[in-house]
Amino acid sequence: MRIFVVLMLIAIIASLGSALVFIYRDQGPDKTRAVKALSFRVGLSFGLFLLLMAAHWLGWIVERL
């Protein structure tokens, strides 16, 4: 579970970085690649949030003191 969460966080950061590159490289009013990359990042973040909520509810994540 921990490895999957770290991989998802890396994918979220990579998507954010690619959107930054698209913003600087794409000139003009049509910047759809940046919008798609940011939308993908939001989807990944929301999916990770739902996965963590479900994992906690199912008992896959245990609190350690």
Question: pLDDT tens across 1-59, in order?
Answer: 889 999 999 999 999 999 999 888 887 777 788 889 999 999 999 999 999 999 999 98
Percentages (nearest 5) of helix, strand, coil residues in the chain: 80, 0, 20
Range of the domain at 15: 2-58
Q: Is residue 27 part of a domain?
A: yes
d(CA 31, CA 27): 7
Query: What 8-state DSSP symbol labels residue 31?
Result: -
d(CA 15, CA 39): 9
pTM comes to: 0.81
Q: Is residue 64 part of a domain?
A: no
Identify whether the C-beta of residue 34 lies closer than 8 Å to the C-beta of residue 19.
Answer: yes
pLDDT of 26 reads 82
Q: Is residue 20 part of a domain?
A: yes
Q: Is residue 63 part of a domain?
A: no
Q: Is residue 65 part of a domain?
A: no
Closest CA to 34 of 43, 26, 45, 42: 26
Total domains in the fold of the chain: 1
Q: Is residue 24 part of a domain?
A: yes
